[in-house]
Amino acid sequence: MAIWNPFSRNKSSKSDAAPAANEEPMHDNGAEPAPQQATPEPAPPAKVGLFRMFKRALKKTIDVLNTDIRDIIGKEGRLVDQAFLDELYVHLIKTDMGVGPATEIRDHIGSAFRGRKVMLADLINSARGTIRTIMAQDRADLNRATQGPTVIMVVGVNGSGKTTSIAKLANRLKQQGQSVVLGAGDTFRAAAVEQLTIWAQRIGAEIITGKSGSDPASVAYKAVEAAKNEQRDICIIDTAGRLQTQANLMDELSRIRRVIGKLIADAPHEVLLVLDATAGQNALSQAKGFSAAAGCTGIVLAKLDGTAKGGVAIPIRQEFGLPVKFVGLGETLDDLQPFDVESYVSALFEDEATA
């Protein structure tokens, strides 16, 4: 076990130090790109600011919904027949929203307008309403412990943005005045442990590590034990992102849950599944495996930064019923934002008035 003290000045090597502000982020040994320091700028009102962030992040999806669909309808509108509905469906699928939501939007348009001319505004209003219904969720705050530290397990495949999302979440909680302990439970990937350690240093969080290849459950236990004994507010546990079989995955994650529960009866209080927005429909298969194995309580949609087709959030919400709790809208430490349905739907249709 190693407990890093953020106030210690005894740094043994350059590899243990946080990267300088002008240094390139880590990419070695398969580590995920490290989040960069944000450049401060005047903060807009929360809702408007989030709308603008979503609008930048959802550019590819917005282009399909507001350009391709406009083109197939034209200025004069379009007769709703089977040919039009088939064409509309193809364009909706391009957004990565998946078969279920695309079918639902198409069928609603067909029911309301078949045999009549539909205008762009009519179609957009119908699609917006369908997506809003699918995405509807109660305010998705983090579940908190009633007493003692809140324990958050974070799961997801390697390369999904899991480790960097943990750093961003820890940074967000630290900025809110919470004390944070990290558990580097992805013990079979040295780069992940090293990266998380560097970011713990940068944000001033305590981190518990183990030897390379050591038992992830033991690291989780020690991290929760440290958080409990030191009366910290939050303990975030990283987990292995690649296991050989589904059975191994379930066994390992179940074991981590059991050992955490020995220390705090109702822990973990959150199990967050990190999904890569750029993975498109592959994110759905990731969600299937982990949601069953880990008992996930919420989703972090990472890498929603303009390179992804952000429609993938829609089938994830529809199929699994899990709340999308956070989205990563860029590469800075400060870009992890709470998911807001209205801002998301408004951005998809470039409708700032309702944001």
> Model confidence over 337-352: pLDDT tens digits?
999 898 888 888 875 5
**What's the confidence (pLDDT) of residue 23?**
37
pLDDT beyond 50 at 11? no
**Gap between the Cα atoms of 290 and 168, Å rounded:** 21
Contact criterion met (CB below 8 Å) for 136 and 340: no
Long-range CB contacts for residues 108-116, cutoff 8 Å, separation at least 24: 109/80, 109/85, 110/80, 110/85, 113/80, 114/80, 114/81, 114/85, 115/79, 115/80, 115/81, 116/79, 116/80
Closest C-alpha among 109, 70, 116 to residue 86: 109
Q: What is the pLDDT of residues 25-34, one digit of tens each?
A: 433 344 555 5
Summarize the confidence of residues 264-275 as an average pLDDT: 94
Alpha-helical runs (H) found in the chain: 46-57, 59-63, 69-73, 82-93, 99-113, 120-135, 162-175, 190-203, 216-229, 246-263, 282-294, 313-320, 341-348
**Gap between the Cα atoms of 274 and 291, Å rounded:** 11
Opening angle at CA 252, ends 246 and 253, nearest 5: 90
**What's the confidence (pLDDT) of residue 30?**
47
pLDDT beyond 90 at 243? no
Question: pTM score, two decimals?
Answer: 0.80
Secondary structure (3-state) at 3: strand
**Gap between the Cα atoms of 85 and 90, Å rounded:** 9
Summarize the confidence of residues 265-279 as an average pLDDT: 91
Confidence of residue 276 (pLDDT cuts 50, 70, 90): confident
Structural domains in the chain? 47-135 (1.20.120.140), 150-354 (3.40.50.300)
**Gap between the Cα atoms of 31 and 22, Å rounded:** 19
Contact criterion met (CB below 8 Å) for 243 and 249: yes
Closest C-alpha among 322, 328, 311 to residue 98: 311
Summarize the confidence of residues 169-190 as an average pLDDT: 94
Spatial neighbors of 120 by CB under 8 A, at least 6 apart, are: 69, 70, 73, 77
Q: What is the pLDDT of residues 308-329, one digit of tens each?
A: 677 888 888 888 888 999 999 8
